[in-house]
Amino acid sequence: MLYQFRVMSPLASLHSDPARIAILYPEVYDLARFREGRREFPPFGPLYLAAVAEEAGHEVVLMRIQEDAPDVNLKGFDVVGFSISSSATYGVMLRARRTASLRPDALLLAGGVHANFYPEQTLADFGVHAVGVGEGEAALLECIDRRHAPDRLSEVAGLCLRATDGTTYQTGNRSVSKDISDLPLPSRHLLPDDAVVMTDRLADTDLRMAHVMFSRGCPFPCRFCAAARTIIQYRSGASARAELEQLQERYAIEGFAIVDDNFIVNRKKVAEICAAITPLDLRWSALSRVDTVTPELLATMRSAGCIELKFGMESGSARMLELMNKGGKVSPDVIRRAVADARAADIGVKLFVIHGYPGENRASTAETMSLLDELAPSVDRVSLFRFVPLPGTYVYNNPEEFRLSGTDRDPEWDGDWGRFHIHHNEHHWWGDESDFAELESSYRELREYVDSTWPDRHESAAP
């Protein structure tokens, strides 16, 4: 039965002094990719933050900030949180902060992926009372409780604060939640329905679907990925099922997409979730590495309704896979096996490819093309991305090792985080002019190959 499983989360304690809270988040940056105002999926960070705050009795408004948005009026709010979900959207959020009208006594907070990597700079640029570092749910509630006495924010773990002498410091580390099943379900009701339910995002179907997250984090060490080497936390099967039942009841979904960084790490946990959701008879998709799936698990997933897996193939070149430090056992042969096993289990296949990682050249591009060509009969869709050194990644943090330029370590850094997006990005990131020329021409070849082999279909690229 719906909500049977839901109990008040351990973070909740109904508030006698409710606050009005605004959480601002950036519109997703994919206009360039789709050349139209394509809706992207909901902002899970703000949705979870809103859920714990609402559960504690506070009133929450979520505000989507567009690049050219008019100045926002936040005078009605006691607490304002800026969620900076990627480096690329730092400028958009900063503009919102600088032009917003605020109450002088409002508690101002910032957090999110970029803030996690650059808390001191975010604190200074945003002029907020505190920047949350890491998981934000418990920290947000503790900050709200201290909104009338911001000097007591130092009691809250997981914050970056300004000392009275103007220096910055971090309060103790906040350990990640032991069990994210304890969190309330994301507050989707704060968004318009069409930001939650979509009909063009589940494989090639037009099923009514929603996006969900059943795990957080990824322990693997891929050098291009800003989520690498983080602790993985899974929700329980019962918690996953409760959310899907809520989505069926409220939004009449017929399917869903799991948008976790890497859902298939712990096969036991995945099987537990599959067992719990099988009776719901929904269709779904998920992202995975190629070396964590087995025929047995794929069969279990198929019985639970999985119709598409999006594999991080990245490259067809063994040398490039090695350079990327994919960890585990990733190789062209393992890619072949994963695709074949998924097909054998009657699960559709989409591949994610990254072109232009440091070391890429004409030969490695040809290897990628050749492997794609070999696998093409079994592959429904391909998403081709151009490599960008994302802040927070191993590559970004080791510019000399990768002959990188254009990062904030560069003496000529212009402060523009906006270029760290992965679509239509033609920036010269690494190597000399001849490396770049080779990269450009081999990218064009690969692009043409993908476009002609999977016409119109590769563009439905979002996870």
Q: Which residues are near ligand SF4 by CB under 6 A?
A: 218, 220, 222, 225, 227-228, 261-262, 289, 312
Partner from ligand B12, ligand SF4, none contacting 332, C-beta within 5 to 8 A by type: none
Q: 161 or 225, CB closer to ligand SF4?
A: 225
Q: How far is the CB of 15 from ligand B12 (least distance, A)?
A: 17
- What residues between 65 and 124 interact with ligand B12 by CB under 6 A? 81, 83, 85-89, 109-114, 116
Could you say which of 30, 54, 78, 341 contacts ligand B12 (CB under 6 A)? 30
Q: CA-CA distance, 306 to 71, in Å (whole number)?
A: 43
> Scanning residues 403 to 442, which ones bind ligand B12 (CB under 6 A)?
420-423
Number of residues that bind ligand B12 (CB under 6 A): 48
Q: Give me the 303-342 binding string for ligand B12, x by CB under 6 A, dash otherwise.
A: ----------------------------------------
Residue 450, SS3?
A: helix
Q: Cα separation of 357 and 368, whole Å?
A: 13
* Residue 81 one-letter amino acid: G
What tokens appear for 230 in the block?
């983080």
Residue 220 interacting entry, from ligand B12, ligand SF4, none, C-beta within 5 to 8 Å by type: ligand SF4
Distance of CA 42 to the CA centre of its chain: 11
DSSP code string of 31-99: HHHHSS-------HHHHHHHHHHHHTT-EEEEEEEPTTPPPPEETT-SEEEEE--SGGGHHHHHHHHHH
The number of CA neighbours under 13 Å toward the Cβ of 367 is 18
Residue 1: CB minimum distance to ligand SF4, A: 35
289 is in the binding site of which of ligand SF4, ligand B12, none (Cβ under 5 to 8 A by kind)? ligand SF4
Instruction: Report d(CA 380, CA 77) in Å as an integer.
Output: 47
DSSP 376: G
**Smaller CB separation from ligand SF4, 109 or 222:** 222
* Residue type (1 letter), 165: D
Q: Which is nearer to ligand B12, 49 or 349 (CB)?
A: 49
Residue 345 or 388: the one with the smaller Cβ distance to ligand B12 is: 388
User: Does 56 contact ligand B12 by CB under 6 A?
Assistant: no
Q: Which of 11, 45, 345, 387 binds ligand B12 (CB under 6 A)?
A: 45
- What's the gap between Cα 96 and its chain centre? 22
